[in-house]
Amino acid sequence: MLDNLLPELQAGVADWANDLHDKHWIDETTLNELTRVDTRSAAGLFGQEERPLVVGFFGGTGVGKSSLLNRLAGQAIARTGVERPTSREVTVYLHHDLPIAHLPDAFPTDKVKLALHKSEANRHVLWVDMPDFDSAEQANRDMVLAWLPYIDVLMYVVNPERYKDDQGWRMLLEFGHQHAWLFVINHWDRGVEEQRDDFRNLLSGAGLANPVIFRTDCNPDREQAVDDDFALLQRTIQELADDNIIRHLEERGVRQKIEELQARTRSVVATLGNEQDIDAIAGEWDKLWQTASAKIETSQSWKINEIAAQFTSKETRWFRSAIKALRGQEQESGDTPGPDMQAGAEALWTPAVCQLVDGSIDELLQRARYRDMASGPLKHLLAPLKAQHRELFEQCYHSEMQKALAQPGKHWQRLLNRVLGWLTTLLPILALLWIGYKVVVGFYLGNESGGDYLGFNFAIHSLLLLGVSWLVPWFIYQKSKPSLQEAAVQGMRNASHVTLRRFSVMAHEALEILRQRRAEALAGSESLFAVQLQPGQLADKDKARILARLLTQKVA
Domain coordinates in residue numbering, the chain: 1-51+243-271, 53-240, 275-318+340-525
The more confidently predicted of residues 474 and 329 is 474
The more confidently predicted of residues 179 and 517 is 517
Residue 294: predicted pLDDT: 94
Residue 497: predicted pLDDT: 94
Measured in degrees and rounded to the nearest 5, phi and psi for residue 418 equal -65, -40
Q: How confident is the model at residue 73 (pLDDT cuts 50, 70, 90)?
A: confident
Q: How confident is the model at residue 318 (pLDDT cuts 50, 70, 90)?
A: very low
CATH ID of 53-240, from 3.40.50.300, 3.10.180.10, 3.30.70.330, 3.40.50.2300: 3.40.50.300
pLDDT one-digit tens code per residue, 523-555: 888 888 776 555 555 455 555 665 665 665 543
Residue 344: predicted pLDDT: 81
Q: Which helix (H) or strand (E) element contains residue 127? A: strand 125-129
Residue 44: predicted pLDDT: 74
pLDDT one-digit tens code per residue, 366-413: 998 888 777 789 899 999 999 899 999 999 989 988 887 777 666 666
d(CA 313, CA 421): 16
Mean pLDDT for the stretch of residues 418-430: 79
Mean pLDDT for the stretch of residues 220-225: 68
Residue 3: predicted pLDDT: 61
CB 188 within 8 A of CB 195: no
Is the model's pLDDT at 240 over the cut of 80?
A: yes
Mean pLDDT for the stretch of residues 485-499: 87
Determine which of 52-66, 136-150, 186-200, 350-364 has the lowest per-residue pLDDT on average: 136-150
The 10 Å Cβ neighbour count of residue 235 is 12
Is the model's pLDDT at 519 over the cut of 80?
A: yes
Q: How confident is the model at residue 79 (pLDDT cuts 50, 70, 90)?
A: low
Residue 536: predicted pLDDT: 53
CA torsion angle 137 143 146 150 (round to 10) = -140
Q: How confident is the model at residue 448 (pLDDT cuts 50, 70, 90)?
A: low
d(CA 348, CA 499): 12
Per-residue burial over 297-335, b if 16 or more Cβ lie within 10 Å, else e, is eeebeeebeebbebbbeeeeeeeeeeeeeeeeeeeeeee
198 contact partners, CB below 8 Å, separation of at least 6: 163
The more confidently predicted of residues 76 and 24 is 24
Q: Which helix (H) or strand (E) element contains residue 279? A: helix 275-308
Residue 516: predicted pLDDT: 92
- In single-letter form, the type of residue at position 150 comes to Y
Per-residue burial over 173-202, b if 16 or more Cβ lie within 10 Å, else e, is beebbbbbbbbbbbbbbebeeebbeebbeb
Residue 451: predicted pLDDT: 56
351 contact partners, CB below 8 Å, separation of at least 6: none
Closest Cα partner for 321 from 334, 309, 304, 308? 334
Mean pLDDT for the stretch of residues 352-374: 89
Sign of the CA dihedral with 37 first, then 142, 96, and 109 last: positive
CA 275-281-284 angle, to 5 degrees, is 145
Residue 500: predicted pLDDT: 94
> For the chain, what is the mean pLDDT?
79
Among 35-49, 113-127, 221-235, 487-501, the range with the most confident prediction by mean pLDDT is 487-501
Largest CA distance in the chain: 177
